[in-house]
Amino acid sequence: MKIINKINTEIINDKQLNLKFLSVLNNEIKMECKILTGNFFLDSFNYFPITEEYNTFSEIYSWGEPNKYNNFYTNDFLKNFKKNMSNYKNIKNAFILGSSPTDNYYRNMITFLPRIFFIKENKINLVIHRNLSNKFKNFIFSLCKILKINIQWVFLDDNFYKFSDSQIPQFLKHEDSINLLKRFIIPNEKKKEKKIYITRQNSNYRNLINEADLVAVLKKKGFEIFDLNQLDIVKQMNLFHQAKLIISVTSSSLTNIIFSSKGTRIIEISPHYQFDYENSLKFRFRDISNQLDLEHDFIEADPINIENKNKKINSFIPEKILNESNYYKNLLIKIDDINKIL
């Protein structure tokens, strides 16, 4: 027995397989979502379901780097999977929303959260990773209350699980996720007038080591300085909605530009990217800006080596990437570059 990937046409043409999927339509925006139902196995990093018949569905359950799924089809994985499958914790009657094991705001907002709009039941056991912040859990809870969904949390650790009589929705295209969020989460309407700078002070990496010099210049130009760690998610959304000009170092906090008004200017302070594997990081926020008619500019800052001791990050990212990628270094910005672009 091998793990076999089934493409969408095979799902449609196989009656027994097709019965495992619900097709849920969100009537307000005419968007459809496939939901795998029944019994399946799942890891809490990729959320890549494997059925009891050893089938996977990469076309609808893939997100992020495509090569990471190659491991699921190796002999070593299959051998280990079969050896341990009877020992996996069994969770019943659950809806797997999922969340980033590193509590990454971009992933939580773009990859996982939008699937919540395809829940049809009014009472569910909602599955997330244990590392999800209380701030984001509170946001999900408030959103479910608006959607009239009564939830009971189910927390996953870093492991494989068996799910029985459960549901997992497909992962949506980024453009569809953004449209869903833009449609259903509407910030408070206020005049678009703020000029804001988002600080990453005390972050594990990508700190601006000369941020004090930058902040002094920006304050003279009428900017307000915000640390989003001090704001709940609704306040973050409202802040970005009220801004006409946003400056930030590359950060998942920039995901909030989804809630900015058309024409808002975004200036992203970014590291110099050197490798192909960094391409998904390089343009993710510019792509959102392009979709939503925002003005997006880049300022490249110089990398400064640091020793990254964050255990949560280190456990998920290969040491080679941590050492070589400028994404995981601190930054030094030329103040003249800011003056020129402003």
- Could you read off the pLDDT of 280-333 as tens digits, one per residue? 888 999 999 999 999 999 999 999 887 655 545 555 677 888 888 888 889 999
26-43 residue pLDDT tens: 877 788 999 999 999 999
Q: Which of 18-27, 97-106, 297-306 has maximum average pLDDT?
A: 97-106
| CATH 3.40.50 intervals, the chain | 194-341
Better-predicted residue by pLDDT, 63 or 186:
63
Burial label for 72, CB within 10 Å (0-12, 13-18, 19+), is middle
58-89 residue pLDDT tens: 999 999 888 899 999 999 999 999 999 999 99
Pick left, alpha or beta for residue 148 (phi over 0 → left; psi -120 to 50 → alpha; otherwise beta). left
Better-predicted residue by pLDDT, 180 or 342:
180
Query: What values do phi and psi take at 25, rounded to 5?
Result: -105, 125
Q: What value does the CA radius of gyration of the chain take, rounded to a whole number of Å? A: 21
Q: Do 225 and 247 touch, CB atoms closer than 8 A? A: no
Q: What's the CATH number of domain 194-341, 3.40.50, 1.20.272, 3.30.1490, 1.10.8?
A: 3.40.50
Is the pLDDT at 342 greater than 80? The verdict is: yes
209-254 residue pLDDT tens: 999 999 999 999 999 999 999 999 999 999 999 999 999 999 999 9
Which of 63, 99, 325, 109 is closest to 228 using CA atoms? 109
Which of 53, 52, 19, 21 is closest to 36 using CA atoms? 21
Question: Using H for helix, E for strand and C for coil, what is the string for the chain?
Answer: CCCEECCHHHHHHCHHHHCCEEEEEECCCCEEEEEEEEEEEEECCCCCCEECCCEECHHHHCCCCHHHHHHHHCHHHHHHHHHHHHHCEEEECEEECCCCCCCCHHHHHHHHHHHHHHCCCCEEEEEEECCCCHHHHHHHHHHHHHCCCEEEEEEECCCEEEEEEEEEECCCCHHHHHHHHHHHCCCCCCCCCEEEEECCCCCCCCCECCHHHHHHHHHHCCCEEECHHHCCHHHHHHHHHHEEEEEEECCHHHHHHHHCCCCCEEEEEECCCCCHHHHHHHCHHHHHHHHHCCEEEEEECEEECCCCCCHHHHCCCCHHHHHHCHHHCEEECCHHHHHHHC
Specify the pTM: 0.92
Q: Which tokens hold the place of 124? A: 């569910």
- Mean pLDDT computed over every residue of the chain: 92
